[in-house]
Structure 1
Amino acid sequence: MNGQELQRRAAERAREPPASTLEFPFGPEYEVYKVAGKIFLFLVDQRGEPIVTLKALPSDSIALREAHPDITPGYHMNKRHWISLRPGGPLTADEVSELVMESYRLVVAALPRAMQPVEPHAFGRGQR
């Protein structure tokens, strides 16, 4: 998947969940997707390479980086809790979609219950 396809697929999926918003708090070159004011995904070009950065459990982050050459520690984020998806590797559109949804669920789960737009442990499982 090339960089534009990677970012397009991630952005399409990021717009789907309830209460997802697109903002540009760091300037027009950063597309930032939030839920209840918390970032769950952002898109940027790193040295001309379009990448996707999203949240992951620390254990998943390590496993994903070991399993996929196109997944690296999160660009400009905490390297334990964030990963970056890079173009040109074997990641599929379905895998990108699931990683976006997992990032959304992780952020929602950390919100106070009254602010959660969905039940984080059940939302989006198996949807494409």
Structure 2
Amino acid sequence: MNIEQFRDYCIAKKGVTESFPFDEKTLVFKVMGKMFALCALERIPSQVNLKCDPERAIALREAYDGRIIPGYHMSKVHWNTLLLESLPPQLITELVDHSYALVISKFTKKLKAGYDAL
């Protein structure tokens, strides 16, 4: 999967917006204003950060040594950095879905109602 395919997959999800809140090189995806994915647009190889359940994050890092690492410039407990081109596309979409679901699961009642109304 390349960075454009990653972007297309993220932006197609319900309630997702994209922006550059940090700098012009880091694309951030949010659902209802809450971050679930970041892309480093100018890094070679392409890197993305995704939120992850802490126990699963450790298992993924062990299973994909060097291709999934602790989140770069993020909480090392709750975020992983993925080297995009070195992983199977199915795994990447599964991890995007996982990150998105984790964020939605933490919505307040007000955010959940807004999300449900979309």
TM-score by length of 2: 0.86
- Aligned to 1:28, which of 24, 31, 46? 24
Q: Are the counterparts in 1 of residues 54 and 77 from structure 2 also a CA contact under 8 Å?
A: yes
**Secondary structure of the corresponding residue to residue 49 of structure 1:** coil
Q: Equivalent residue for 1:126?
A: none
Distance (whole Å) between structure 2 residues aligned to residue 47 and residue 10 of structure 1: 14
The answer to which structure has the higher helix fraction is 2
Q: Equivalent residue for 1:65?
A: 61
Q: Equivalent residue for 1:77?
A: 74
Structure 2: unaligned runs, 5 residues or longer: none
Distance (whole Å) between structure 1 residues aligned to residue 34 and residue 100 of structure 2: 10
* 2:100 paired with 1:104: yes
Q: How does 1:106-125 map to 2 (within 5 A)?
A: 106-116=102-112, 117=115
Instruction: Supply the RMSD in Å over aligned alpha carbons.
Output: 1.7
CA positional deviation for 1:11: 1.3
Report which stretch shifted further, 9-18 or 31-40: 9-18
Structure 1: unaligned runs, 5 residues or longer: 119-128
